[in-house]
């Protein structure tokens, strides 16, 4: 994998990026993934600025390998976050949920590589025009917040690949070596994996949530709350409350009121499986145990190589 | 591909099945696909019994290769259809949208191979228990009527593969050789391709609809009318009328009234691009020209083989 565009771009061993997820991916997970040869990302989306600074500092101590930070561009304290990223010498930033033109040049002037997450060909092209170093194209099956186009990984990757010439990372539905190989056959240079790392030993997800991921089967998630920001959740008690409310044809205010605040923290970090939002991808149905990040990456690479050999 | 489970099951050259689609796949398309080494299917769903009989008879004259018939099990004249299938000596039947236990044994007693189309692991297992010869697992990205689970091809195929041991055909999102290889990497033994064959010379789709498929881009389709039967359509004037009605929070009767009758025929067969239902998969965004069935299959196999070689 020495000639792979993603391993070269980030100076890593395997073209596997760990998704920077709220409440799940602190420095422990990011460092473990980076130490195992992938690229770990700290998920800034659920961190106050001080917390993010602490995680970056701890990550630098926990690994001498490259790692990055994922920043949703609607983050309220964005200026403070940007300052911390620069101050702490972060070298790789993944941005999502916003306009890639806003900060790409700024980061790059500080020698930071920038990757933007998109869910359509249109935004892939906009990202390329903005000068990003790579694109993550994320399909409908992905967990958590998700694009409105509902284009799946299987069709999004080749459609984006047709139009762009910068490195392309596939996300959504990938948890195994076969999934990684399939994504690369479809045109990806590397993969971003989220759900599988939720169920890792080093993730900061609550153990109840990790167990819940392992128990989730096919059809166990749904993309809902589309009137707010579409989000893929495990079908738990809270999810069914949302569905019940839909039967009453609610307006947006009523949906917001039911959602309330901090549902994701409650479910994913505090382990309230009934009342929390449990953000996970459809691929949870393929995740059967909690492993260390090192085991996960070793298993994925082993399956990837064996499957590739079996085709020859 | 001599040792492939699907080519052996149907005695065909390539593990490519042409989806049996309403208003699109008459005997001309089915025979052309079978003559090119795939398995052509006549789509009975839009045919009166007499029309189906005529298409089967013409197909037998147009090819000496195996072909099949796709039968939605909610078909109103089902008994008459079953009689025609037996009378005319059809050897392969694909069933969908119903209980696989109802007719599988009956067909098999008449030396007919039976394949059932599913969109979940649960129904894949039910189909296997019913004794079907193979399963089509169809993802959310597929065109036309679609499962309620919304599981995508990328995640559905490996999840079904984990649980069943009979031959598995992947459907939804596949139009190219790379797509075929990716589906097989994920665990499929063969592929079913619909949208690509809509835009074939031999399909009975109206030329306006074929051109519309070629022009469709990513995010150009949506799965809608979920309160009735979920259906993936091109976002045309009729589609936006449905979306406008949704803003008024309609009941099911109002949706049925807007849908009316024969919308699919109007759009797909008669070429009314504004008022018709135009059923197509997300993969339309990868379809750029109208080709003959022979060209399509040759191109897919060529890309499949070259992509496989490039991995070795």
pLDDT single digits (tens) A167-210: 999 999 999 999 999 999 999 999 999 999 999 999 999 999 99
Same domain for A45 and A123?
A: yes
> What's the rounded Cα separation, in Å, for the pair A39 and A29?
10
pLDDT of residue B89: 98
* Cα A240 to chain centroid, rounded: 25
Q: Is-contact A179 A200, C-beta < 8 A?
A: no
Taking each helix axis from N to C end, the angle separating A78-87 and A49-62, rounded to the nearest 10 degrees, works out to 20
Q: Is residue A262 part of a domain?
A: yes
pLDDT of residue B186: 98
Same domain for B86 and B195?
A: yes
Structure tokens at A155: 């069709």
Nearest Cβ partner for A150 among B151, B222, B286: B222
| Sign (positive or negative) of CA dihedral B248, B249, B254, B255 | positive
> What's the rounded Cα separation, in Å, for the pair B116 and B134?
7
Residue of A nearest to B227 (CA): A247
A159: enclosing H helix or E strand:
helix A153-163
pLDDT single digits (tens) B23-39: 999 999 999 999 999 99
Same domain for B59 and B161?
A: yes
Residue B123, domain extent: 5-204+288-311
Average pLDDT over residues A5-32: 98
Whose CA is closest to A293, among A43, A70, A94, A27?
A27
A and B: number of Cβ contacts within 8 A = 146
- Read off the pLDDT band of A3 (50, 70, 90): confident
Torsion-angle region of B151 (φ positive above 0: left; ψ -120 to 50: alpha; else: beta): beta
Compute and round to an integer the Cα radius of gyration of chain B.
18
Q: Is-contact A241 A255, C-beta < 8 A?
A: no
Nearest Cβ partner for A151 among B183, B218, B308: B218
Same domain for B31 and B107?
A: yes
Contact A141 B152 (CB under 8 A): yes
Domain count, chain A: 2
C-alpha count within 13 angstroms, C-beta hemisphere, residue A99 = 3
Residues in chain A: 312
C-alpha to C-alpha distances, B235 to A120, B141, B194, B213, B223, nearest whole angstrom: 16, 14, 18, 11, 10
Whose CA is closest to B27, among B58, B51, B68?
B58
DSSP state of B264: H
pLDDT single digits (tens) B203-212: 999 999 999 9
> What's the rounded Cα separation, in Å, for the pair B115 and B192?
12
Query: ∠ CA B27-B30-B31 to the nearest 5 degrees?
Result: 80
> What's the rounded Cα separation, in Å, for the pair A282 and A90?
31
Chain A residues within 8 A of B159 when measuring between CB atoms: 217-218, 285-286
Whose CA is closest to B267, among B229, B231, B227?
B231
- Read off the pLDDT band of A312 (50, 70, 90): confident
> What's the rounded Cα separation, in Å, for the pair B13 and A145?
43
Strands A144-145 and A231-234: antiparallel
**Residue that the structure tokens 């044994």 belong to:** B105
Same domain for B259 and B294?
A: no
Same domain for B119 and B173?
A: yes
The residues of A whose Cβ lies within 8 A of any Cβ of B are: 120-122, 139-141, 149-156, 158-160, 162, 172-174, 176, 178-179, 181-183, 185-187, 217-219, 222-223, 249, 281-283, 285-286, 307-308, 311-312
pLDDT of residue B76: 83
B200 bridge partner residues: B291
Q: Is residue A209 part of a domain?
A: no
Nearest Cβ partner for A186 among B152, B178, B281: B178
Chain A residues within 8 A of B181 when measuring between CB atoms: 185, 311
Same domain for B96 and B195?
A: yes
Q: Is-contact B40 B58, C-beta < 8 A?
A: no
Average pLDDT over residues A71-99: 94
Looking at the complex, report in whole angstroms how far the Cα of residue A141 sits from the nearest Cα belonging to chain B.
6
C-alpha count within 13 angstroms, C-beta hemisphere, residue A49 = 14
Residue A2: is its pLDDT beyond 80? no
Same domain for A191 and A291?
A: yes
Q: Is residue A210 part of a domain?
A: no
Query: ∠ CA B39-B266-B230 to the nearest 5 degrees?
Result: 70
Same domain for A14 and A157?
A: yes
Interface test with A, best of B185, B249, B252, B281 (most A CBs within 10 A): B185
DSSP state of B201: T
C-alpha count within 13 angstroms, C-beta hemisphere, residue B1 = 21
pLDDT single digits (tens) A192-201: 999 999 999 9
Q: Is-contact B238 B274, C-beta < 8 A?
A: yes
- Read off the pLDDT band of B3 (50, 70, 90): confident
Same domain for A154 and A274?
A: no
pLDDT single digits (tens) B182-236: 999 999 999 999 999 999 999 999 999 999 999 999 999 999 999 999 999 999 9
Looking at the complex, report in whole angstroms how far the Cα of residue B61 sits from the nearest Cα belonging to chain A.
37
A116 phi and psi angles, rounded to 5 deg:
-115, 140
For residue A296, what is the domain's CATH number?
Answer: 3.20.20.70
Looking at the complex, report in whole angstroms how far the Cα of residue A308 sits from the nearest Cα belonging to chain B.
7
Nearest Cβ partner for B285 among A140, A155, A281: A155
Strands B231-234 and B144-145: antiparallel
Same domain for A174 and A240?
A: no
Whose CA is closest to A44, among A20, A60, A11, A80?
A20
Structure tokens at B114: 């039976």
> What's the rounded Cα separation, in Å, for the pair A187 and A139?
14
Strands B113-118 and B134-138: parallel
pLDDT of residue B218: 96
Q: Strand (E) positions, chain A?
A: 16-18, 40-43, 67-72, 92-96, 113-118, 134-138, 144-145, 168-171, 190-193, 221-224, 231-234
| DSSP states of A273-295 | TTTS--B--GGGGG--S-B-HHH
DSSP state of A226: T
Residues in CB range of A31: below 8 A, 6 or more apart: A40, A58, A59, A62, A63, A67, A202
Chain B residues within 8 A of A154 when measuring between CB atoms: 139, 141, 152-154, 172-174, 179, 182, 283
Average pLDDT over residues B277-287: 98
Chain B residues within 8 A of A281 when measuring between CB atoms: 155
pLDDT of residue B75: 84
Chain B residues within 8 A of A185 when measuring between CB atoms: 178, 181-182, 185, 307, 311
Mean pLDDT score across all residues of chain B: 97
Same domain for B196 and B262?
A: no
Nearest Cβ partner for B120 among A162, A219, A311: A219
Compute and round to an integer the Cα radius of gyration of chain A.
18
Q: Is-contact A191 A179, C-beta < 8 A?
A: yes
Q: Is residue A211 part of a domain?
A: no
pLDDT of residue A74: 86
Taking each helix axis from N to C end, the angle separating B153-163 and A153-163, rounded to the nearest 10 degrees, works out to 140
- Read off the pLDDT band of A160 (50, 70, 90): very high
């Amino acid at each position: 994998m020495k000639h792979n565009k993603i391993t070269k771009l980030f100076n890593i061993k395997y073209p596997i990026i760990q998704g920077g997820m709220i409440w799940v991916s602190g420095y422990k997970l990011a460092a473990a993934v980076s130490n195992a040869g992938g690229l770990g990302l700290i998920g800034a989306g659920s961190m106050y600025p001080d917390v993010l600074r602490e995680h970056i500092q701890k990550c630098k101590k926990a690994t001498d390998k490259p790692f990055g930070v994922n920043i949703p561009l609607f983050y309220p304290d964005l200026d403070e976050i940007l300052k911390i990223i620069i101050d702490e010498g972060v070298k790789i930033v993944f941005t999502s949920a916003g306009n890639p033109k806003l900060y790409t040049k700024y980061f790059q002037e500080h020698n930071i590589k920038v990757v933007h997450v998109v869910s359509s060909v249109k935004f892939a092209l906009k990202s390329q025009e903005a000068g990003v170093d790579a694109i993550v194209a994320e399909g409908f099956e992905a967990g958590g917040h998700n694009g409105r186009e509902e284009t799946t990984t299987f069709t999004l990757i080749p459609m984006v690949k047709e139009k762009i010439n910068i490195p392309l990372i596939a996300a959504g539905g990938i948890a195994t070596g076969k999934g990684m190989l399939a994504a690369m056959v479809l045109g990806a240079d590397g993969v971003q994996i989220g759900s599988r790392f939720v169920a890792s030993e080093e993730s900061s997800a609550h153990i109840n949530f990790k167990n819940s991921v392992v128990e989730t089967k096919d059809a166990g998630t749904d993309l809902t709350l589309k009137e707010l920001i579409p989000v893929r959740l495990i079908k738990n008690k809270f999810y069914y409350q949302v569905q019940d409310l839909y039967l009453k044809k609610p307006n947006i205010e009523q949906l917001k009121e039911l959602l309330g605040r901090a549902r994701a923290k409650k479910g994913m970090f505090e382990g309230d499986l009934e009342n929390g939002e449990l953000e996970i991808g459809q691929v949870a149905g393929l995740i059967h145990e909690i492993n260390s990040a090192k085991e996960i990456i070793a298993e994925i690479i082993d399956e990837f190589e064996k499957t590739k050999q079996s085709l020859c």
